Structure 1
Amino acid sequence: MTAPKRVVQLTTVHHPTDPRIYHKESKSLKKAGFDVTLIAQTNENDNIQDKPIRHIPLKKYNSRIKRMTIGIYDAYKKAKYLKADVYHFHDPELLPVGWLLKRKDNVVIYDIHEDYTTSILQKDYASMPMKKLLAKFYKWMERFFARDAALCLAEKYYKDIYPTGVCILNYPMTNDKFLNSKREGPAEYKLLYTGNVTLERGAMEHARIPLLDEDIEVHIVGKCPSSIAEKMYQAAGDNKERLLIEGIDQFIEKEVIESHYLNTNWLAGIALFPPTEHYMKKELTKFFEYMNAGLPIICSNFPEWEKFMETYECGIAVDPYDDEAVKEAISYLRNNPEEARRMGENGKRAVKEELNWGTEEEKLIAWYNELLGQATRKQEGIDA
């Protein structure tokens, strides 16, 4: 009996139960018969050892320099020791590690979660000339170290940047609890945002919503740095009691977020991001999660986002800086509950029939088998 192919998922940045890395890719590969190991940072309070995927912990460093030097070297040593058939890494800082791990008889995959060039340009840790220099350095590093790696793309538009990459899109796993749930009765006057909280992801735009309506509540569920939470509370002013943030300086597990979707009859899911090149073309993962849960969406009116809302008839796109337009969108959903319910059901149907991880899982497994077959044929040719 042939031993299962060994796969190592490797990250020095993401949480060990990151939805894409752990819940989608790793679990799907294990279900398909691969021997999967995850190498990732771990906090003392992370309950990871009793999870179904074997986990090798990396020390968590508060210093970015230590993480990108000592941490990366530690990740390389632990990954190399496993002598895997496939190394699947998820962070640009691991590009040199992927290059070092590549052998003639194995597969190395670089999973591109972000458009890192535009991501670097929108960071606030350096001046614009320095950020442009860093972006150019990243592109050089990527071209050099990823030349023998297979590219896994989480977004459709990344194909324009990486034409040889394969799209394994970050669609949600269908959830029977969500699909079988019904939005009955009037929705509560509450809006929900899930996921990491940053200024680029609309932290201040969401924080201002309680100022627009004296009754609305805004619930934020996701990791939020305390410095940003403080700015959000300041922006909400005297209405900050209607801005509820869960996840200040802590990661929120997928299961906790899902419980929030189910425990409240939300008016809508929100994604009022300020315009940045980094997000304007992205189909946000949270869109699919809101749709999966049957929530109508209120989002920014970027052309791609507005087109998405119109295609699936699942929400309303507005100018995130136009307070009156945001207020009108909220009022419309409140005053037209049947239309809000229809939008939610449209989104749920789209996820069930088209925009779900099941379709991407099949692509992932087929692609793995293809890559391993290519590696085997290449090795046999060399050995011959």
Structure 2
Amino acid sequence: MSGPVAGRVVHLSTVHHSWDNRILNKECRALAEAGIDTHLVISADEDRTGHGLSVHAIRRRGRLARLVVSQWEALQWLRRLRPAVLHVHDPELIPLMVLWGRLGRCRIIYDAHEDLVKQIETKPYLRGRQRVLARGAARALVGLADRRCDAVVTVIDEIAQHFSTTRRGRPRPVVVVRNLPWVADFPPVSVRCNDPVAVYTGDISEERGFSRMVKAVEQVPGARLVLAGRSLVPTSRTGSHPEVEMLGLVPPGELPGILARARLGLVLLDRLPNYAHSLPTKLVEYMASGIPFLATDFPYWRQLFEDVDAGVFVDVDDPAAVREALERLLTDPEECSRLGANGRRAVEEHFGFDLDAARLVRLTRQLLG
């Protein structure tokens, strides 16, 4: 097999969709705009180009077929593209990534989007012994990535601490690239002019607060709820809710327009370990748009955002408190405008993706050598 193409980077995922905001619109876009030869191999309907990079389609499959057929398809793309740096986004691809790093003689980056071991606790289909086995497999995969990767990218410092900054006695980069919005992508919203609409963006599931949001909105006269994201809730359980509009999965470029219709953004997640120490991207996107948030009162989130005074934290285990906070905000456009302006200013000063993009570009160029 021929050697790698000098200067070429391939981002790889068989799990995420081709519109994934972090992978496509942030990381790959940042590299392409910096002039790096960037390719994305990912589940998609068709090959395409955009943001100055090439997207190569892998057919979307179920979990079991993905572990075999999709990985074989990914391997074929790697043989054609021959990257000098391979940047992988799925834990299940870690063995393939390590194998290709040896066969393809390229540098490899593992992108830890979440704390994989804690994430096991959020999987409702894993119970009892299955969960124990899955937790052990997760630790083994993370350990393999830690031993074999040339660099690790994570979203928060707490996850970065799980990875060693040395490898074989030499420094090994562990870089935090926060999942923040490009400020320029989110024009500020005139909250005062908006109807009493609450919005939620992202995967829709029970642990992410689907029923909690619906019930709260139904109890506030005149309120409406807009949900934009992939629904993981069975159709039989979504029911008929006149106050709720479900838009389905939308490309990242459409999110600012959806937020522009809202007076408030929701992040009412369950108290699960994987959420408690996460950087809530949607919350920062709400702030970037200039709309306030109503969010779960995780101590870590309070530490990050309470002093910004851009929204309200609430005990999600208290339905009455959720409803009261929602009603108070939706019926007070002046307060929403004040909180939203604080959030927009904080994103412009501290929570924009521009600095993190530069950090990723430096790392990639270092590995390209």
Does the alignment reach a TM-score above 0.5? Answer: yes
Q: Distance in 2 between matches of 1:182 and 1:138?
A: 45
Q: Distance in 2 between matches of 1:325 and 1:167?
A: 35
Structure 2, unaligned runs of 5 or more: 166-173
Once the two structures are superposed, residues 20-50 of structure 1 have per-residue CA deviations (whole angstroms, 9 ceiling, x without a partner) of: 111111111111121111111223xx6x524
2:140 is equivalent to residue 153 of structure 1:
no
Once the two structures are superposed, residues 166-191 of structure 1 have per-residue CA deviations (whole angstroms, 9 ceiling, x without a partner) of: 10111101126514x44344x41111
Q: Shift of the alpha carbon at 1:4? A: 6.1
Given candidates 216, 239, 242, the residue that maps to 1:233 is 239
2:171 is equivalent to residue 175 of structure 1:
no
2:269 is equivalent to residue 260 of structure 1:
no
Task: Give me the CA root mean square deviation.
Answer: 2.0
Q: Shift of the alpha carbon at 1:105? A: 5.3
Q: Shift of the alpha carbon at 1:160? A: 2.9
Aligned to 1:38: 40
Aligned to 1:287: 283
Contact 1:212–1:323 at 8 Å: present in 2 too? Answer: no
Aligned to 1:132: 132
Aligned to 2:7: 5
> What SS does the corresponding residue of 1:246 show, helix, strand or coil?
strand
Amino acid at match of 2:32: K
Q: TM-score, normalised by structure 2?
A: 0.90
Q: Distance in 1 between matches of 2:54 and 2:323?
A: 48
Once the two structures are superposed, residues 344-374 of structure 1 have per-residue CA deviations (whole angstroms, 9 ceiling, x without a partner) of: 011111111110110111111111222333x
Over 3 Å counting, the alpha-carbon distance change for 1:212 and 1:156 in structure 2 is farther
Once the two structures are superposed, residues 123-180 of structure 1 have per-residue CA deviations (whole angstroms, 9 ceiling, x without a partner) of: 121322221221112211331254221110022321232253210111101126514x
Over 3 Å counting, the alpha-carbon distance change for 1:53 and 1:291 in structure 2 is same
> What SS does the corresponding residue of 2:274 show, helix, strand or coil?
coil
Contact 1:29–1:365 at 8 Å: present in 2 too? Answer: yes
Structure 1, unaligned runs of 5 or more: 235-239, 374-384
Q: Distance in 2 between matches of 1:105 and 1:68?
A: 23
> What SS does the corresponding residue of 1:40 show, helix, strand or coil?
strand
> What SS does the corresponding residue of 1:175 show, helix, strand or coil?
helix
Q: Shift of the alpha carbon at 1:331? A: 2.9
2:308 is equivalent to residue 302 of structure 1:
no
Once the two structures are superposed, residues 90-116 of structure 1 have per-residue CA deviations (whole angstroms, 9 ceiling, x without a partner) of: 001110111011149531000111111
Q: Shift of the alpha carbon at 1:256? A: 2.2
Over 3 Å counting, the alpha-carbon distance change for 1:281 and 1:176 in structure 2 is closer
2:55 is equivalent to residue 55 of structure 1:
yes
Counting aligned pairs with the same residue, the percent is: 27
Contact 1:290–1:296 at 8 Å: present in 2 too? Answer: yes
Q: Distance in 2 between matches of 1:358 and 1:145?
A: 27
Over 3 Å counting, the alpha-carbon distance change for 1:176 and 1:112 in structure 2 is closer
Q: Distance in 2 between matches of 1:270 and 1:226?
A: 17
Q: Shift of the alpha carbon at 1:118? A: 1.3
Over 3 Å counting, the alpha-carbon distance change for 1:4 and 1:372 in structure 2 is closer
Aligned to 2:171: none
Amino acid at match of 2:143: R
Q: Which moved more, 1:83-92 or 1:322-331?
A: 322-331
Contact 2:208–2:270 at 8 Å: present in 1 too? Answer: yes
Aligned to 1:120: 120
Aligned to 2:31: 29
2:85 is equivalent to residue 83 of structure 1:
no
Q: TM-score, normalised by structure 1?
A: 0.86
Contact 2:204–2:233 at 8 Å: present in 1 too? Answer: no
Q: Distance in 2 between matches of 1:77 and 1:177?
A: 37
Aligned to 1:213: 220
> What SS does the corresponding residue of 2:114 show, helix, strand or coil?
coil
Amino acid at match of 2:157: K
Q: Which moved more, 1:267-276 or 1:146-155?
A: 146-155
Aligned to 1:68: 67
Once the two structures are superposed, residues 63-111 of structure 1 have per-residue CA deviations (whole angstroms, 9 ceiling, x without a partner) of: 3111101111221222133221100010011101110111495310001
> What SS does the corresponding residue of 1:200 show, helix, strand or coil?
coil
Contact 2:48–2:56 at 8 Å: present in 1 too? Answer: no
Given candidates 341, 357, 362, the residue that maps to 1:361 is 357
Aligned to 1:196: 203
Q: Distance in 2 between matches of 1:283 and 1:147?
A: 26
Contact 2:15–2:90 at 8 Å: present in 1 too? Answer: yes
Over 3 Å counting, the alpha-carbon distance change for 1:147 and 1:6 in structure 2 is same
Aligned to 1:93: 92
Over 3 Å counting, the alpha-carbon distance change for 1:201 and 1:207 in structure 2 is same
Amino acid at match of 1:116: L
2:167 is equivalent to residue 166 of structure 1:
no
Contact 1:269–1:290 at 8 Å: present in 2 too? Answer: yes
Over 3 Å counting, the alpha-carbon distance change for 1:339 and 1:71 in structure 2 is same
> What SS does the corresponding residue of 1:109 show, helix, strand or coil?
strand
Contact 1:156–1:169 at 8 Å: present in 2 too? Answer: no
Once the two structures are superposed, residues 301-320 of structure 1 have per-residue CA deviations (whole angstroms, 9 ceiling, x without a partner) of: 11112333412111101111
